[in-house]
Amino acid sequence: MKKVLYLIPNLAHGGAEKVLVNLANNMDKTKFDVTVQTLFDVGVNRQYLNSDVKYIGGFKRMPRGNTYVMKLFSPEKLFKYFIRDNYDIIVSYLEGPTARIVSGCNNPNTKLVSWIHCKMDNPAIGAVGFRNFEEAKKCYNKFDNTVCVSKWVMDYFSKTFEFQKPIQVLYNTIETDKILEKSVEPVDDIKFDDDCVNICSVGKLTALKGFDRLLNIHKKLLDDGVKNKVYLFGIGEEEGSLKKAAQNLGVENTFHMVGYRINPYKYVKNCDLYVCSSHSEGFSTSVTESLIVGTPVVATLCSGMKEMLGENNEYGIVTENNKDALYEGIKKMLTTSDLLEDYAAKAKERGKAFSTEKTVKAVEEMLSAL
């Protein structure tokens, strides 16, 4: 049995945190002794870890500037401070600070894995969490294997770091059976409008998600006579500015900011269209979940979208990554006869490719081969 540790900053409500919980819960415990450790013992996803997954919490608070404090210490000192046990495999499940810590392991019997979720297309982004880009290159080259969540992410990482070590793509683990089960639960707190198109999106309310673009597109569609309502599920620092912008545009009654929901799947299933308006993604968990429940998707061109939705829009519509192109893609989906129905069937078909069994098996095979 291999003893595996996953290190992540916290188990907050982000996609990577959720995916790690899914992966840890579904790994074969007769082959892997799994521990999840956080630097900061905070986050809503902590409660969803199964009892057969060991958990080690870190600091009870996550103060501002914590990454700057950690840069005062070497990776080796940080590793000795945070990692108190011996493991066969240690995985940094996010780029940056945890990768810096794990790279400080000097045990020749421990295999190290780095998991990359975001597009690192320049040295400045690659250096986040490190003292500088040169330190980042040195640390990432200490890993025995690097895993990227999409080919797009892998290509950028390889080019930016001039990477020569083993690297591969493994898709995120989604609990498909649970998602489908939860998606049929009744929705009793929202009454979706049968007389218009109901559009939804799920994610942290951050500038990177481009929800301000979706807000302006919503208004433009209304002005063009396309009846629609938008439902955003998530919390974050952009909440106040989005609410104010909706009021200024006079759409506060049709652009609904619902907040965080434990079960977003039932809402997504009951909506007519899912929109990903992001400026950047790693491999969108929420888009994958939309496909699983059979909700058509229109998404901006960012990492992983063509891998999910097809090179030629076979399973959804991918637009150029700007507001005008996204508007045209959404309008086409909503105004072309039978297109929503056609893509609903295609979404459900595509969702089967990201089954829990397939994605977990791929990770287990990677770990076993180290």
CA distance 35 to 7: 9
In a 3-state reduction of DSSP, which class is residue 49? coil
- The pTM of this model reads 0.80
CA distance 36 to 57: 8
- Split at pLDDT 50, 70, 90, the class of 303 is confident
For residue 114, the model assigns a pLDDT of 98
For residue 15, the model assigns a pLDDT of 80
What percentage of the chain has pLDDT greater than the value 70?
100
Domain 177-353 matching CATH 3.40.50.300: the answer reads: no
Q: What's the mean per-residue pLDDT of the chain?
A: 95
Angle at CA of residue 351, ends 48 and 271, nearest 5°:
80
The CATH number fitting domain 2-173+355-369, selected from 3.30.470.160, 3.40.50.2000, 3.40.30.10, 3.40.50.150: 3.40.50.2000
Domains 2-173+355-369 and 177-353 share a fold: yes
Give residue 240's identity as a one-letter amino acid code.
Answer: G
Burial of 221 (0-12, 13-18, 19+ CB in 10 A): buried
Give residue 106's identity as a one-letter amino acid code.
Answer: N
Contacts of 333-342 with CB under 8 Å at 24 or more apart are 333/273, 333/296, 333/298, 334/197, 334/221, 334/226, 334/228, 334/273, 335/226, 339/296, 340/197, 340/272, 340/273, 340/296
Over residues 72-89, the mean pLDDT reads: 96
CA distance 127 to 286: 27
Mind listing the pLDDT tens digit for each residue in 132-143?
A: 999 999 999 999
Enumerate the domain spans of the chain.
Answer: 2-173+355-369, 177-353
For residue 354, the model assigns a pLDDT of 86
In the predicted model, is pLDDT for residue 62 greater than 80? no
- Split at pLDDT 50, 70, 90, the class of 14 is confident
For residue 32, the model assigns a pLDDT of 98
CA atoms within 13 A on the CB side of 14: 19
In the predicted model, is pLDDT for residue 21 greater than 90? yes
Are 265 and 183 spatial neighbours (Cβ–Cβ below 8 Å)? yes
